[in-house]
A and B are shown apart, each in its own frame.
Chain A
């Protein structure tokens, strides 16, 4: 087995036991990146020199008998909206093409503290607005299972690079499905934690009330290992919980689901879902029943309004979050003789068409006379949806649902039709609006393409999801490494 096929847990073990040096592990993963990157275009900024220097430093520390942490020697990649001090952070936007942050995101420092080696920054839809990485200002990432298809988005670069073995662990942000949808399209695990589980400090926001940071992995064990490193309180984020986190890896010991109730959402049945996804859901359902769970119907009557609420709330918050890109303090700054021209020209040149569309929509729904009809109304509908979820989780311990309505689509297929593109978030965004944890996992393959399915848990119900996932991994197998024939 090649080192790039290994799990993070195995790599960390090998490093601890002295079987491999960090330098060796990092070199192999950089080699994998070099070989596949011409096809995949998953990385905006590779960090070869930085990674090699870091590997050398870790090897010296290990030789001295130090153990820097649970991810020592594990190569990781973060989405390019995670601030990294002295390393440019672009959000895949012209606006920040040359921006070098003066500080690290909290998650980045937690990873560093755990001994991980950052080897690259991943491509994404510009400012996380999109579902395919086709809205990156730089290039579109390819799906490692079929390069003519998209890897999903907005964390498409993170998903593709994990699936293809650049790194066993990568990280993204999820506002309406931006971790889970690309995880489904790339055939790996992608987890969006409960809102407030992971610090958002230093991750350039899209929509602050919906954004949550989470990991991609090819084994459940790796996913939980990553969660143990990043899910910690942070006094710099007022929305990040002060509570203690559970011992996530305990879920790996779960072998049966006796007494557990798996909910199926009645309203989701009316949607047009690709056949292989329906089949994968059936396989998962059978595996869960086999493990002793019961299956119940739950109802979310308001869920069909989720899409409208999402496309009001997220752009509204984004219009305010992205106001600061004005050419004064950092980033792109257009030539101008007056302040007003500086603003208009900088923002015209710096933002791509999808970002512009959303900023304008967001500005409109907050503007005088429309606030109550749109933004406030959407918040109230979301409050109802939260109550419906709370009721559903009185009847079920975890919900099984599709991640996406379709398998990975072809590049260009939806680019001209924003509304159709928005539809791919249909099943993922309810969890964001209700602040719930949700996992996309691989449910099998169809004609060489991975098929994703989703588990949604109650607030702080991570362990319910991970327990079910442990059973499913045993029954259905762990994800396969992508990119074998590239």
Chain B
């Protein structure tokens, strides 16, 4: 009988917390593009005698994630030292949490690409400090072959929250979705920018196979996946590799493998084979970390709406489609903008539609976010009110919208600038426009009058020109009526 396999994946996600200063010192966390070893002090440089002091904001951000994941936020926790020698570690130990993580347990649920509900248990989320950065000036920038390496401690001590899942994930696609959900969560909470490319969200995966004949493949750890796409590709590659080996009766080595995005392969990592003995022990420089219940309540009280909460509210309260709701819930800012429009009187569906198509288009084009977008939600609402009241056609409204955004002006001046007035173009104004169009298109007029337009194509053409000239602000029935009278 042919063997079947079951994939078992657990993820460890390191999220850089969006604090201004580092976890244990007052140096700036803003290391991207900074001069090497400029955001440093005795603490993060591991100078003898220096001591760590905890950044309370980092603790709060960790607690927010814990509350969102339904974790138990532990009142009394502590920091341990994880001891190993490496040059990016300025003290040759990392301050992390071990037996008492700040967040214990929890769960993250989401729908997969087929709409099926998936639920992943969270083991823990703990605070720890980031390491510095190594630069390998070898020909190809890799560790292998570099005669020496350079160390920059600007990143040393940046706060990380390591979120560890149970091995509940059953496919590479689900691993990707889980990571997307974590990213959406940390962004919505304002806890991290969640950017994988720049390394503020880093995923390590543990993957193994259970075989139908009762065998279990060893667990393999995969590192260096710098995007959602490479995460999914790396895991797909690894599923195939492990199944092939096991299918041929071979064994999977327990090891750490490195994903090579260019080659599309995972490879055993060099130099990491030594069995680690981290000699964890409680950091004697840091007394127990206590999150008092008042403090916890205070954090819970200011928790923003979570993406999945927003998603279901947008469906139930505003009648948005599941797809629309999901797009909005991607960012708390977009939800707030939509809420603002509706609060100012806009119709929910029309507002959602406009934000999706027009607002997000502009944000994309200008590469900005809603925080720097000039058009207030209430201004958009008053524009949409004109459309709803039949006073402005969609076409005219879009012109006005563009002017409002371009010039950063309110509704009235934008309408003046784009030559649009509220209400229908009718009566003599419409007649003047019609006459001007007919005069400019004598050929078509002649054809209609002489009965050479049996299918009414030319009439439609003229009608279209009139509508365009009025920026859609004419009533179609009136235009048809007027044309009929003029062309007899």
Chain A residues within 8 Å of B, Cβ to Cβ: 81, 83, 89, 91, 96, 99, 101-103, 105, 200-205, 207-209, 235-239, 316-317, 319-320, 323-326, 328-330, 339, 343, 363, 366-368, 371, 375
Segment at the A interface, from B43-51, B250-258, B390-398: B43-51
B residues within 8 A CB of A205? 48-49
A residues within 8 A CB of B286? 238-239
Q: Which 4 A-B pairs have the closest CB atoms?
A: A323-B92, A209-B284, A208-B284, A366-B279
Q: Which residues 270-294 in B have Cβ within 8 Å of A in the complex?
A: 277, 279-281, 284-287
Is there contact, CB below 8 Å, between B50 and A238?
Answer: no
Can you name 21 A-B residue pairings with CB atoms under 8 Å? A89-B48, A101-B49, A102-B47, A200-B51, A201-B51, A203-B49, A205-B49, A209-B284, A237-B53, A238-B52, A238-B53, A238-B286, A239-B285, A317-B284, A320-B281, A323-B92, A323-B93, A326-B92, A367-B279, A368-B277, A368-B279
A residues within 8 A CB of B85? 323, 326, 343
How distant is A381 from chain B, measured CB to nearest CB, in Å?
16
How distant is B90 from chain A, measured CB to nearest CB, in Å?
7
A204 to B46 CA separation, bound complex (whole angstroms): 11
Is there contact, CB below 8 Å, between B285 and A320?
Answer: no
A residues within 8 A CB of B281? 316-317, 320, 366, 371, 375
Closest chain B residue, CB of each to CB of A327? B87
Closest chain A residue, CB of each to CB of B24? A238
In the complex, B174 has a CB within 8 A of chain A: no
Is there contact, CB below 8 Å, between B279 and A320?
Answer: yes
A368 to B274 CA separation, bound complex (whole angstroms): 14
A81 to B48 CA separation, bound complex (whole angstroms): 9
Is there contact, CB below 8 Å, between A204 and B49?
Answer: yes
In the complex, B91 has a CB within 8 A of chain A: yes
Is there contact, CB below 8 Å, between A238 and B93?
Answer: no
How distant is A378 from chain B, measured CB to nearest CB, in Å?
11
In the complex, B151 has a CB within 8 A of chain A: yes
A residues within 8 A CB of B83? 319-320, 323, 366
Is there contact, CB below 8 Å, between A324 and B48?
Answer: yes
A residues within 8 A CB of B47? 83, 101-103, 329-330
Question: Pick the contact of B151 from A91, A328, A330, A371 — CB < 8 Å?
Answer: A328
Is there contact, CB below 8 Å, between A236 and B51?
Answer: yes
Q: Which residues 444-468 in B have Cβ within 8 Å of A in the complex?
A: none
In the complex, B81 has a CB within 8 A of chain A: yes
A residues within 8 A CB of B439? none
Chain B residues within 8 Å of A, Cβ to Cβ: 42, 45-54, 81, 83, 85, 87, 90-93, 149, 151, 277, 279-281, 284-287
A238-B51, A329-B90, A330-B47 are known; give 7 further A-B pairs, CB within 8 A: A204-B48, A236-B53, A238-B54, A320-B83, A324-B48, A368-B277, A371-B281
B residues within 8 A CB of A324? 46, 48, 90-92
The residue among B48, B50, B52, B92 with the most chain A CB atoms within 10 A of its own CB is B48
A200 to B48 CA separation, bound complex (whole angstroms): 11
How distant is A78 from chain B, measured CB to nearest CB, in Å?
12
B residues within 8 A CB of A329? 45-47, 90
The residue among A99, A105, A328, A368 with the most chain B CB atoms within 10 A of its own CB is A328
A residues within 8 A CB of B280? 366, 371
A residues within 8 A CB of B54? 238
Closest chain B residue, CB of each to CB of A83? B49
Is there contact, CB below 8 Å, between B284 and A323?
Answer: no
Is there contact, CB below 8 Å, between A235 and B53?
Answer: yes
A317 to B46 CA separation, bound complex (whole angstroms): 16
Is there contact, CB below 8 Å, between B42 and A238?
Answer: no
Q: Is the interface of B mostly helix, strand, loop or mixed?
A: loop
The residue among B46, B53, B81, B279 with the most chain A CB atoms within 10 A of its own CB is B279
Closest chain A residue, CB of each to CB of B45? A329
B residues within 8 A CB of A339? 87, 149
A residues within 8 A CB of B284? 207-209, 239, 317
A381 to B51 CA separation, bound complex (whole angstroms): 27
How distant is B459 from chain A, measured CB to nearest CB, in Å?
83
How distant is B150 from chain A, measured CB to nearest CB, in Å?
11
B residues within 8 A CB of A366? 83, 279-281
The residue among B50, B81, B149 with the most chain A CB atoms within 10 A of its own CB is B50
Is there contact, CB below 8 Å, between B279 and A328?
Answer: no
How distant is B376 from chain A, measured CB to nearest CB, in Å?
43
B residues within 8 A CB of A200? 49, 51
Is there contact, CB below 8 Å, between B285 and A208?
Answer: yes
B residues within 8 A CB of A238? 51-54, 285-287
How distant is B378 from chain A, measured CB to nearest CB, in Å?
45
B residues within 8 A CB of A81? 49
Is there contact, CB below 8 Å, between B287 and A202?
Answer: no
A200 to B50 CA separation, bound complex (whole angstroms): 9
Is there contact, CB below 8 Å, between A103 and B285?
Answer: no
A91 to B48 CA separation, bound complex (whole angstroms): 10
A residues within 8 A CB of B285? 208, 238-239
A222 to B87 CA separation, bound complex (whole angstroms): 45
How distant is A173 from chain B, measured CB to nearest CB, in Å?
11
A24 to B82 CA separation, bound complex (whole angstroms): 52
Is there contact, CB below 8 Å, between A201 and B49?
Answer: yes
How distant is B91 from chain A, measured CB to nearest CB, in Å?
5
How distant is B54 from chain A, measured CB to nearest CB, in Å?
7
B residues within 8 A CB of A96? 48
How distant is B80 from chain A, measured CB to nearest CB, in Å?
10
The residue among A81, A202, A319, A320 with the most chain B CB atoms within 10 A of its own CB is A320
A326 to B83 CA separation, bound complex (whole angstroms): 13
A203 to B284 CA separation, bound complex (whole angstroms): 15
A209 to B281 CA separation, bound complex (whole angstroms): 12
A319 to B279 CA separation, bound complex (whole angstroms): 10
Given contacts A201-B50, A238-B51, A238-B53, contact A103 B279 (CB under 8 A): no
Closest chain A residue, CB of each to CB of B92? A323
A330 to B53 CA separation, bound complex (whole angstroms): 23
A209 to B286 CA separation, bound complex (whole angstroms): 9
B residues within 8 A CB of A203? 49
Question: Pick the contact of B93 from A99, A209, A320 — CB < 8 Å?
Answer: A320
B residues within 8 A CB of A343? 85
A residues within 8 A CB of B48? 83, 89, 91, 96, 99, 101, 204-205, 324-325, 330
A79 to B93 CA separation, bound complex (whole angstroms): 26
A residues within 8 A CB of B90? 324, 329
How distant is B290 from chain A, measured CB to nearest CB, in Å?
12
A205 to B90 CA separation, bound complex (whole angstroms): 16
A203 to B149 CA separation, bound complex (whole angstroms): 31
Is there contact, CB below 8 Å, between A239 and B49?
Answer: no
How distant is B79 from chain A, measured CB to nearest CB, in Å?
10
Closest chain A residue, CB of each to CB of B148? A339
B residues within 8 A CB of A208? 284-285
A329 to B87 CA separation, bound complex (whole angstroms): 9
A residues within 8 A CB of B287? 238-239
A316 to B51 CA separation, bound complex (whole angstroms): 18
How distant is B272 from chain A, measured CB to nearest CB, in Å?
13
A236 to B26 CA separation, bound complex (whole angstroms): 10
How distant is A337 from chain B, measured CB to nearest CB, in Å?
9
Closest chain B residue, CB of each to CB of A200? B51
A residues within 8 A CB of B91? 323-324
Closest chain B residue, CB of each to CB of A91? B48
Given contacts A326-B85, A326-B92, contact A105 B49 (CB under 8 A): yes
B residues within 8 A CB of A330? 47-48
How distant is A363 from chain B, measured CB to nearest CB, in Å?
7
Question: Pick the contact of B49 from A202, A207, A367, A371 — CB < 8 Å?
Answer: A202
A204 to B49 CA separation, bound complex (whole angstroms): 4
How distant is B281 from chain A, measured CB to nearest CB, in Å?
6
How distant is A105 from chain B, measured CB to nearest CB, in Å?
6
A205 to B93 CA separation, bound complex (whole angstroms): 15
Is there contact, CB below 8 Å, between A328 and B277?
Answer: no
A329 to B85 CA separation, bound complex (whole angstroms): 13
Question: Pick the contact of B42 from A102, A237, A326 — CB < 8 Å?
Answer: A102
How distant is A99 from chain B, measured CB to nearest CB, in Å?
8
How distant is A118 from chain B, measured CB to nearest CB, in Å?
16
